[in-house]
C-alpha cells in the first residue's frame, strides 16, 4: 500500500487478535511498528513475528488506563524510530471479570462501568492526546480506532462495553472535525465477530451460529480481515477518507 513504508505506527493493543494482525500487516508493508499492550509477553511475541518476517518492530508494555505509561509509549516509539505517523487504537478490557459481568443496565455493577470506560474509551483519549501533538507538528497523520458492531445498538447486553464503543465512534469524528484541516485523519473500524485468540478461547458456539445466521457471508471473521482495512486507512491510499466509522463484519449490519 502507498505511504506505509518507512512510517512509524503504534498499535495500542497488539499482543493478540486484530491488533496483532494489524502489526504483522504493517510490518509486511515496510512500516515501523511499536507493538504495545498490557500483555507484554504477547506484544513481544507479535514484534518477533514482525521482525522474523523481515520487518521492524519493538514491543512496549503499557496500560491504557495509565497516563504515564501512555506518554512513555509515545516517547519510546519516537526515540526508537525517529518519527511517528499514526496510531491504531485496538485494546479493550475483554477479561471475564469485566466484560463477563457487563450485562444490562440494572444488573451491571458501577465498577464494571468505571473499568470499561477507563480502558476502552479514556484509554483511547489518552493515546490520542499523547500522539496528536506529534502528528500536528508534522502536519500529517492517521488514527484508526476500533469500536464494535455492538455500538450500532442491537445487543441487549454489554451495556457498558457498547456505550464505550459508541463513544469511540464519536471520538473518531471529533478528531476528524477538529484537525482534518491540519492534515490529521481519524477513522474507526467496527468489527463483527472476529475469531482472534480471545474469541477462540471463549468459543461461544451460540454467538457464532447467531452471527452467521445474521450475516451475508460464508464464514466468521479473522484478524486479517480487519488488519487489511486498518492498514489501508493508515496508508496514503485512504488520504481522502476521514471521520468515517466502517462496519467490517460480513454484512451482518447493512448501513447507509
Ligand X SMILES: NC(=O)c1ccc[n+]([C@@H]2O[C@H](COP(=O)([O-])OP(=O)(O)OC[C@H]3O[C@@H](n4cnc5c(N)ncnc54)[C@H](O)[C@@H]3O)[C@@H](O)[C@H]2O)c1
Residue 233 interacts with ligand X (CB under 6 A)? no
Minimum gap (Å) between residue 61 Cβ and ligand X: 9
| Binding pattern for the stretch 48-67 against ligand X, x by CB under 6 A and - elsewhere | --------------xxxx--
Through-space distance between the first and last CA atoms of the chain, rounded to whole angstroms? 27
| Binding pattern for the stretch 90-109 against ligand X, x by CB under 6 A and - elsewhere | xxxxx---------------
Minimum gap (Å) between residue 70 Cβ and ligand X: 9
C-alpha cell at 42: 504477547
Rg of the chain over CA atoms, in angstroms? 17
Nearer to ligand X, 19 or 86 (CB): 19
Residue 208 interacts with ligand X (CB under 6 A)? no
Residues 6+ apart with CB under 8 A from 75: none
Site for ligand X in 108-167 (CB under 6 A): 119, 146, 148-149
Residue 247 known to be catalytic:
no
Residue from 161, 179, 211, 247 carrying the catalytic annotation = 161
Nearer to ligand X, 5 or 114 (CB): 114
Q: Taking a C-beta distance cutoff of 8 angstroms, is the pair 214, 170 a contact?
A: no
For 254, the enclosing helix (H) or strand (E) is none
Q: Which stretch binds ligand X (CB under 6 A): 109-117, 179-187, 194-202, 240-248?
A: 194-202
Cα–Cα distance measured from residue 24 to residue 184, given in angstroms and rounded to the nearest whole number: 24
| Choice from 3, 30, 39, 72 touching ligand X (CB under 6 A) | 39
**Chain position carrying cell 483511547:** 124
**Chain position carrying cell 464494571:** 112
Nearest C-alpha neighbor of 248 from the set 60, 224, 3: 224
**Chain position carrying cell 455492538:** 150
Residue 23 interacts with ligand X (CB under 6 A)? no
For residue 41, the tally of other CB atoms under 10 A from its CB is 11
| Choice from 67, 107, 197, 239 touching ligand X (CB under 6 A) | 197
Q: Which residues are catalytic?
A: 161
Amino acid at each position: 500500500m502507498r505511504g506505509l513504508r518507512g512510517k512509524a505506527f503504534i498499535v495500542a493493543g497488539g499482543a493478540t487478535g486484530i491488533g496483532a494482525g494489524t502489526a504483522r500487516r504493517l510490518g509486511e508493508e515496510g512500516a515501523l511498528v511499536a507493538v504495545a499492550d498490557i500483555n507484554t509477553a504477547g506484544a513481544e511475541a507479535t514484534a518477533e513475528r514482525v521482525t522474523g518476517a523481515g520487518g521492524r518492530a519493538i514491543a512496549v508494555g503499557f496500560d491504557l488506563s495509565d497516563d504515564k505509561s501512555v506518554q512513555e509509549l509515545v516517547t519510546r516509539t519516537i526515540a526508537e524510530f525517529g518519527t511517528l505517523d499514526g496510531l491504531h487504537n485496538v485494546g479493550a478490557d475483554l477479561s471475564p471479570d469485566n466484560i463477563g459481568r457487563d450485562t444490562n443496565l440494572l444488573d451491571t455493577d458501577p465498577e464494571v462501568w468505571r473499568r470499561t470506560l477507563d480502558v476502552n474509551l479514556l484509554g483511547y483519549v489518552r493515546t490520542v492526546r499523547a500522539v496528536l501533538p506529534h502528528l500536528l507538528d508534522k502536519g500529517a497523520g492517521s488514527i484508526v480506532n476500533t469500536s464494535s458492531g455492538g455500538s450500532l445498538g442491537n445487543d441487549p447486553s454489554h451495556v457498558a462495553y457498547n456505550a464505550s464503543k459508541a463513544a469511540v465512534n464519536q471520538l473518531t469524528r471529533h478528531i476528524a472535525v477538529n484537525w482534518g484541516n491540519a492534515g490529521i485523519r481519524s477513522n474507526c473500524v467496527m468489527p463483527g465477530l472476529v475469531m482472534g485468540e480471545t474469541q477462540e478461547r471463549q468459543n461461544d458456539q451460540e454467538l457464532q451460529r447467531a452471527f452467521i445466521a445474521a450475516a451475508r457471508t460464508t464464514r466468521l471473521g479473522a484478524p486479517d480481515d480487519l488488519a487489511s482495512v486498518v492498514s489501508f486507512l493508515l496508508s496514503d491510499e485512504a488520504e481522502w477518507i476521514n471521520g468515517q466509522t466502517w462496519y467490517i463484519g460480513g454484512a451482518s449490519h447493512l448501513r447507509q
